[in-house]
Amino acid sequence: MPKIHNFGAGPAKMPEEVYDIIRDELTNFKGSGISLMETSHRTPAYMKFNTAVQETVRRLLNVPSNYKILFLAGGGQGQFAAVPLNLMSRTGTADYVVTGSWSAMAAKEAKKFGKVNLVLPATDKYTGIPDQSTWNLDPNASYVHICGNETIHGVEFDFIPDTKGVPLVADMSSNFMSKKLDVSKFGVIYGGAQKNIGTSGVALVIVREDLLNQALPICPAILDWTANAKADSILNTPPMFAIYVMGQCLEWIERKGGLDKMAELSQKKSSLVYGMIEKSNGFYYAPVAKDARSKMNVPFRVGSANGDEALEKEFLKGAESLGLIQLKGHRSVGGIRASIYNAVTIEEVEFLVKYMKEFYEKHAK
């Protein structure tokens, strides 16, 4: 069996070093003699670890002191409901910038709890981010919601929108900890861990303190940021193992040079793939506008702009024979998608690009 190179969109590849640590500590959490999976969330060992992970998040992103860091169950999609449940009460309306499937899903969920204003014209084709001068922002909105990186369509913000003082909320599930950002420009940042910073089961939420204490009366305690902040993310038994894995991934990022290094590597990896696409004379086609191309998820078609399904099946079959797995595009858009998160190495991307080049040379007309 060939060495596996995992380009899955999530749950995604994790660092080998992290697996080594998990293996060593699986049955002996922090010298306790028992596994974390059978450790009480009220023990000093777990509570100390809980605090340590928060401190790592704060260091990596330089999170200001007036922000709370929460570890919550329900993943990123749970926060699609939590965001309006915690913030919609401010004015009863919210702005959603829909640039792909995930922000569309977030907007749909928010409509259950208040009025949603779609900042951009409705579309089913997501290939870029319209100039902000064309946005229809509501100055009365409780918040403005964006998806920092659309995993399915490969559309990523390379700027922080100016929301004219309205709190900015960002779903960063698939580009969390891939680059530095000014947290003070956001009211809330959230994301599931299973792409860049761990495994499924936990959402990381960073919320400015002045946005607490505003939850709707119907907000369940498990989704109430204020209740969870007061309980230090131990309101009930938290997803401890997922938090543990996330903590190990975050420490790995620090050891590797922090977010500047992650951003440098992301630029190199994505440039390799996009570079091959650009050099293929249309054999490979990336639908997203160059100024919005994701450095995390690279969707492309094979054979033409609309894709040649037979060629794409052959591409995937050949890739899997070489150990290049989970390259199939999302079922809603088809094609190919290479997800190149933090744990995916330069060498793995070079191997993928080598295969892309060989496939092109064999099949291009």
pLDDT tens over the chain, length 365 residues: 789 999 999 999 999 999 999 999 999 998 999 999 999 999 999 999 999 999 999 999 999 999 999 999 999 999 999 999 999 999 999 999 999 999 999 999 999 999 999 999 999 899 999 999 999 999 999 999 999 999 999 999 999 999 999 999 999 999 999 999 999 999 999 999 999 999 999 999 999 999 999 999 999 999 999 999 999 999 999 999 999 999 999 999 999 999 999 999 999 999 999 999 999 999 999 999 999 999 999 999 999 999 999 999 999 999 999 999 999 999 999 999 999 999 999 999 999 999 999 999 999 97
Catalytic residue among 179, 195, 295, 328: 195
The pLDDT, as a whole number, for residue 59 is 98
Locate tokens 């052959």: which residue?
Answer: 314
Give the pLDDT score at 171.
Answer: 98
183 burial (CB, 10 Å; 0-12 / 13-18 / 19+) is middle
**Spatial contact of 102 and 152, defined as CB atoms under 8 Å apart:** yes
Query: Cβ distance 337 to 150 under 8 Å?
Result: no
pLDDT at position 168 is 98
Per residue in 321-341, pLDDT (tens digit) is 999 999 999 999 999 999 999
Q: 3-class SS at 125?
A: coil
Q: Which of 13, 68, 95, 171 is catalytic?
A: 171
**Closest C-alpha among 56, 342, 70, 27 to residue 194:** 342
Q: Pick the catalytic residue from 13, 68, 95, 102.
A: 102
Q: Let me know if 328 is a catalytic residue.
A: no
The question of whether 102 is a catalytic residue gets the answer yes
What is the DSSP annotation of 321-358? Answer: HTTEES-BPPTTT-SEEEE--TTS-HHHHHHHHHHHHH
Domain 16-256 of CATH type 3.40.640.10: yes
Q: pTM value?
A: 0.97
207 φ, ψ to 5°? Answer: -130, 135
Active site residue 138: no
Cβ–Cβ under 8 Å, residues 164 and 140:
no
Q: How buried is 321 (Cβ within 10 angstroms: 0-12 exposed, 13-18 middle, 19+ buried)?
A: exposed
* Residue ranges covered by each domain of the chain: 16-256, 258-363
CATH superfamily of 258-363: Aspartate Aminotransferase, domain 1 (3.90.1150.10)
